[in-house]
Amino acid sequence: MSLHGGGGGGGGGRGFYFSTVLSLARSLAAHRHAPIEKHKDAIVPYVLGLLRGLPRVQWIEESSERKGRETLPVAENFTFGLVTLLSDVAQRDETYRGQILEAIMDIMHVLQDICKNPEAHDKEYLCRYIVPTLLGVARAFGRYSNTAEPLLSKLFPRPVVTVPPSADDSDAPDRRSFNDFRSILSSSLLTVCQADAMRRKGSSQQASPERVCLTPISPADPSAQYFEGSYLPDGSALDPDYYFSTISSSFSVSPLFTGSSSGEFHVPLEMLRTLLHMVEQFVSESFLKALDGSLAELLELHPGLHLYYKTFSDPLYVAIFKMLRDTLYNLKDLQTDYVKEVHDFVLEQFSSSQSELQRILHDVEYLQSELSPLKLRCQANAACVDLMVWAVTEEQGAENLCTKLSEKLQSKTSSKVIIAHMPLLICCLQGLGRLCERFPVVAHSVTTSLRDFLVVPSPVLVKLYKYHSQYTAGGGEIKIHVTNEHSQSTLSSHSSKKSHSSMYEQLRDISIDNICRCLKAGLTMDNVIVEAFLASLSNRLYIYQENDKDAHLIPDHTIRALGHIAVALRDTPRVMEPILQILQQKFCQPPSQLDVLIIDQLGCMVITGNQYIYQEVWNLFQQISVKASSMVYSNKDYKDHGYRHCSLAVINALGNIAANLQAEQMVDELLVNLLELMLRALDSDRFQVMFRYSEDRAIQKDKSGMMQCVIAVSDKVFEVFLHMMAEKPKTKAHEEELERHAQFLLVNFNHIHKRIRRVADKYLSGLAET
């Protein structure tokens, strides 16, 4: 059998022939004349035949120039695609499901037997094709789509045809976007905005898989399920080539995914027992050492031989554990003895792997490479953490695991290898949140642990912050665009160092999100857990030592946590109001850059739609704006700079609120308040400005009620004007000013627009009574 592998990387794999074959496949798939059973009964047995023939394939490889030097071995990529296709079929077709699962298990067993007896096989074929084939199977088995789109379609997506904008809508993005504003949206609030936007549209749009974003993605978003390289900074949609060029990559369950999967189905217990037994053999020291030995012997005999892998043990170790995790992750109601067997095995592997991590800690030769043993072992440990959380069945076990994960989070990690530990640290944080949801009894101890991680803070966070501050001091620029069309933020940066800054922000925000998860879970058993936590957290705003070089992180993290909690628990009584009070008490006491952060959190709280919060925050924002502007335009020499250091933050927060506020009544109220604010510190001529707005043709033609808003604001402004005029002494200058305004209103009383004539008539009557 001869198969032409390829499918990723480089111009050769994505050339004309490749695109033509894909287009033909899509056309045939859309052909509706023949019944689906006819296609299915012909194609599925053929594909299963390909799977069974993999150990005997005569592979034809492209030259390194054509396929791209970073592309994984041809056998691995082909097998990964083949098993992904079969997994899609198994998910959708119950009649073939058992047959497909058994066939994949059988081929894994065959490949395992070949690897167990390397002396009985050609070493070059073993190392170049058999082991990569095994890796391809392990990376694809047990993964199923969480959306209507099959995983194979994510590997080979339909080309996107970009339509150039027409002359009529070329300026549309400028009308819809707020590109000059910095996003204040937390991940929790982003979830709220997206959910509300979806409800308004009445749709259930599903996104394509993405890597973890710099600004944390919504845990409920289906795209969050596919998790690869959580520590990577790239927040764009995942390039399919990633799966053909990245070691151990797969459509894995994201540790940031907190929902339930639509891809679960029943797998026979005996098959799961067989899988666990195979996994135990795959990761055994003897098996892995034998493979590495065969590879070393081959390279010693043929020094010029080019092979992608220099070692098999670490890539296989992580691929096998991720396969076990993803296979079991969504399975429920399994026998307790099986779950305990998985737990004991994984716990043993996790403990031994910790020792292995210490051994290779100083081996930083390949640290920046995908082949880094440290990186791969940390990914494997992260999968072990997920499995241990999944396998806990009783409260004592949950307590013990919480202690173990908390210790890992507080452990000191060398700066040189902290990047490699990111997947493990993220899984520890998410694991604590999930344990609380499954066993709320541990919520008190876990929230205390997460609080300490955040506001002591943890040595890991401190070190990542140092990377972050070095990056920002180096002139790297992060600009966030907020758009009101989808209530989403996008982050762009132009520096190769951006991963350092993102890791600090990501780990900080994930810890805060899991505090929120734990508090929600704890409320089911203790209705004052949130109040107690807020009291202990707010204390950190005042008791830290300011002379400590990292002390500024404590109030920063505390304020961010308070804002996140307010948003995440917005529907829980006695949460938002106490947090508002804490933030109000800290604001400008003393004035500092923390006030900007407080304003950001207050803005986020307003966007949730709470009327009381809106009014309180608006009063503060109005006070800041009026005082700051009066100082700018006054001739007096103020020694007290008041709110000038945070007035721009208020403008930015108002921009975010305007872009993301969902309640229609509050949107109208905000618009009126903003127009009122624009006319404060008001002079007597200012109310005439409103007539200029009324005469604006765009406002007159507007269909969304803008004219009514302008008139409503004009009424408010006129009331203020009358009050000012009534308080002035009755002098000749006062009489002349009244005459001038009366003349202005008389002119407008004869305006060509009926609505403006009515307003002028009403104001003339009011002026006459003054």
Structure tokens at 529: 């857990």
Tell me which amino acid residue 352 is: S
Residue 391 has pLDDT above 80, yes or no: yes
Q: Which stretch of 4-13, 76-85, 95-104, 577-586 has the lowest confidence by average pLDDT?
A: 4-13
Nearby residues of 9 by Cβ (< 8 Å), 6 or more positions away: 67, 68, 70, 71, 241, 244, 245
Select the more confidently predicted residue: 139 or 469. Answer: 139
Q: At what angle do helices 187-201 and 498-522 cross, to 10 degrees?
A: 80
Mean pLDDT of the region 325-353:
91
- Nearest 5°: the CA angle 188, 191, 196 is 130
Which pair of structure tokens corresponds to residue 184? Answer: 């204040």
Nearest to 83 by CA among 377, 319, 390: 319
pTM of the model: 0.79
pLDDT for the residue numbered 75: 96
- At 33 the pLDDT is 65
Residue range of the domain that includes 95: 1-144+267-299
Report the pLDDT value the prediction gives residue 20, as an integer from 0 to 100.
80
User: What is the rounded average pLDDT of the residues 226-235?
Assistant: 36
Q: Is residue 457 part of a domain?
A: no
For residue 376, name the pLDDT band (cuts at 50, 70, 90).
confident
Mean pLDDT of 87-114: 95
pLDDT of residue 503: 83
Higher pLDDT, 726 or 236: 726
Q: Which of 251, 275, 299 is the last residue of a domain?
A: 299
* Residue 518 counted as domain residue: no
**Per-residue confidence (pLDDT) for residue 546, from 0 to 100:** 62
Cis peptide before 440 (omega within 30 of 0): no
Q: Is the pLDDT of residue 475 over 50?
A: no
Quote the mean pLDDT of the chain: 80
pLDDT of residue 479 exceeding 60 = no
Q: Which residue has the higher pLDDT, 367 or 643?
A: 643
In this structure, how many other beta carbons lie within 10 angstroms of the beta carbon of residue 721?
24
Question: 585 vs 503, which has greater pLDDT?
Answer: 585
Burial of 577 (0-12, 13-18, 19+ CB in 10 A): middle
User: Distance of alpha carbon 2 from its chain centroid, rounded?
Assistant: 42
The verdict on residue 134 lying in a domain is yes
Query: What pLDDT score does 659 carry?
Result: 85
* 299, 319, 339 - which closes a domain: 299
Is 284 inside a domain boundary? yes
Amino acid at 398: A
Residue 751 domain-assigned (yes or no): yes
Mean pLDDT of 101-120: 95
Spatial distance between the Cα atoms of 53 and 222, rounded to a whole number of angstroms: 35
Q: How far is CA 330 from the centre of its chain?
A: 21
The length of the chain in residues reads 770
Average pLDDT, stretch 217-224?
A: 32
Q: What is the pLDDT of residue 176?
A: 39
Q: Higher pLDDT residue, 418 or 300?
A: 300
Query: Of the residues 299, 323, 348, which one is the last residue of a structural domain?
Result: 299
> Please, which pLDDT band fits residue 631 given cuts at 50, 70 and 90?
low
The pLDDT of residue 68: 52
| Residue with more model confidence, 495 or 316 | 316
Identify whether 597 is part of a domain: no
Number of domains in the chain: 2
Closest CA to 667 of 701, 720, 709: 709
Maximum average pLDDT range among 245-249, 432-436, 728-732: 432-436
Q: In terms of Cα–Cα distance, which of 409, 433, 439, 434 is closest to 421?
A: 409
Report the pLDDT averaged over residues 310-332: 92
**Averaged pLDDT for residues 282-307:** 93
Rounded Cα–Cα distance for residues 650 and 606 (Å): 12
200 vs 310 pLDDT, higher one: 310
Contacts of 602 (CB under 8 A, 6+ apart): 563, 580, 583, 617, 620, 621, 653
What pLDDT is stored for residue 232 in this prediction? Answer: 36
Range of lowest pLDDT (56-65, 418-427, 557-566, 624-633): 624-633
Amino acid in the structure at residue 395: E
Question: How confident is the model over 177-204, as pLDDT tens digits?
Answer: 445 688 898 665 676 666 666 555 554 3
pLDDT digits (tens, 9 = 90+) for 396-435: 999 999 999 999 898 887 766 787 888 889 999 999 999 9
Residue matched to tokens 């027992």: 273
In a domain? residue 755: yes
Say what the pLDDT of residue 738 is: 87
The confidence score (pLDDT) of residue 205 equals: 35
Find the range with the poorest average confidence among 39-53, 441-455, 534-548: 534-548
| pLDDT in the model for residue 491 | 30
Mean pLDDT value of segment 209-234: 33
Is it the case that residue 355 has pLDDT exceeding 80?
A: no
Asked if residue 584 belongs to a domain, the reply is no
CA distances from 345 to 81, 277, 290, 300, 489 (A): 30, 10, 21, 35, 42
pLDDT higher for 8 or 87?
Answer: 87
Residue 605: pLDDT band (50, 70, 90) is very high
Percentage of the chain beyond pLDDT 90 is 42
What confidence score (pLDDT) does residue 197 get?
60
pLDDT at 108 over 70: yes
Token readout for 337 is 């003895």
Query: What's the confidence (pLDDT) of residue 166?
Result: 55
